Amino acid sequence: MGKATVHDVARRAGVSIATVSRVVNNKCRVEPGTAARVKRVISEIGYRPDAMARGMRHNRSYAVGYIVSDIANVHFMVAAKALEEMLAANDFSLIVCSTGGDKARERSQLDLLLSKKIDGLIINVSVHNDGLVVELSRQLPVVLLSRKVPSDLFQGDFVGNDGFRGAYELGRHVLSMGHRDIGLIRGPDNISTGTERFNGFVTALREKGIDLPQPRIHFGDYYQESGWNGAGALLDVRRPPSIIVAMNNAMAYGALACLRMRGVAIPGDISFASYGDIPNRELLFITPTCISQNPDQEGSMAGEILLRRMKDRGARPMTVLIPSQLLPGDSIRNLASKSKK
């Protein structure tokens, strides 16, 4: 048999082609019994709508590109799920790409998506192709996810977390638990989230007259290996800190794995905290205290804003900051109560 067509569906279901189209696109109300009959025929004969033909009719691809630094990061997976659900409800498909933070890889993926004539782009920039992203924002709707482009020429939107405020609250919480000797695994200083979170955290410390010395700061790259390396470096000094704080969830996983492998008891030997969600954290050997970025809200909002811009290219650029939330766990030893005794 050849490929099933809309004419085949209409003939077997005893309805018009227009009725089949309405059922497929879920655009207009169709009598429930008729709709069920059409869907049954579609399933029986394996009919698949021709997306290319549909796109040509409406002069669009009905596809959105989603480029992130690390799709293995749970934050981006959760955001992608919420984003896909938002787009699917509006008949758009999602094309997912992961760059590994590599300049050439990000550029090739952008070229690939453009060749597919995507209708919009949601991107967690690597910072290596900022000029190209700015240029693209003049050609199609673009929403930056989590990371900003440092250019006034960017003409798209931004959805992310208030990294400064979230890290500031995390710093205040660590201090409230009596910790003053703190080891930090921070993010890259050439990425907006890296500097925002670092500045927020050290601001909380400086308000209490505490400076974080360089030996207590380890630069990471937001991947697990750098979390492992950072925790190891902080453990190998003559006097380790009383707490280690990782500034994203991937580095937190790496740091926790290192501490576990080295036989470090948390929080008995060293306390631990993280910026970024750690899903199913209650199933770990400890429940890490962390800052939740609410990635599901981030993904949904990114989709909503992109759909808005696709409908109105002249809309004013928006910056939406999703509130963060401190989730206490049992990974921080309370030194404050000890000092009062």
What Cα–Cα distance (Å) separates residue 339 from each residue in 18, 176, 272, 335?
76, 12, 19, 6
What was the pLDDT predicted at 284? Answer: 77
The two domains 6-49 and 60-161+295-323 share their CATH topology (first three levels equal):
no
Cα(78)–Cα(109) distance, integer angstroms: 21
Rounded to two decimals, the pTM is 0.79
Cα(86)–Cα(240) distance, integer angstroms: 46
Task: Give yes or no for residue 52 having a pLDDT over 50.
Answer: no
Task: Give yes or no for residue 305 having a pLDDT over 50.
Answer: yes
Domain 163-293+326-340: give its CATH architecture: 3-Layer(aba) Sandwich (3.40)
Quick check: 300 and 145 in contact, CB under 8 A? no
Cα(332)–Cα(183) distance, integer angstroms: 13
pLDDT band of residue 56 (cuts 50, 70, 90) is very low
Rg (C-alpha) for the chain, rounded Å, is: 25
Instruction: Return contacts of 122-127, CB within 8 angstroms, 24+ apart.
Output: 122/64, 122/65, 122/66, 122/67, 122/83, 122/302, 122/303, 122/306, 123/65, 123/66, 123/67, 123/68, 124/67, 124/68, 124/69, 124/76, 125/149, 126/69, 126/99, 126/101, 126/102, 127/190, 127/191
Cα(168)–Cα(306) distance, integer angstroms: 30
Residues 267-278: tens digit of each pLDDT: 999 999 999 888
Q: Does domain 60-161+295-323 have CATH number 3.30.1280.10?
A: no
What was the pLDDT predicted at 60? Answer: 64
The 3-class SS string of 237-270 reads: CCCCCCEEEECCHHHHHHHHHHHHHCCCCCCCCC
Quick check: 218 and 230 in contact, CB under 8 A? yes
Residues 198-245: tens digit of each pLDDT: 999 999 999 999 999 999 999 999 999 999 999 999 999 999 999 999
Structure-model confidence comparison of residues 338 and 71, the more confident one: 71
What is the arithmetic mean of pLDDT over 100-125? 92
CATH superfamily of 6-49: lambda repressor-like DNA-binding domains (1.10.260.40)
- Give the domain ranges of the chain: 6-49, 60-161+295-323, 163-293+326-340
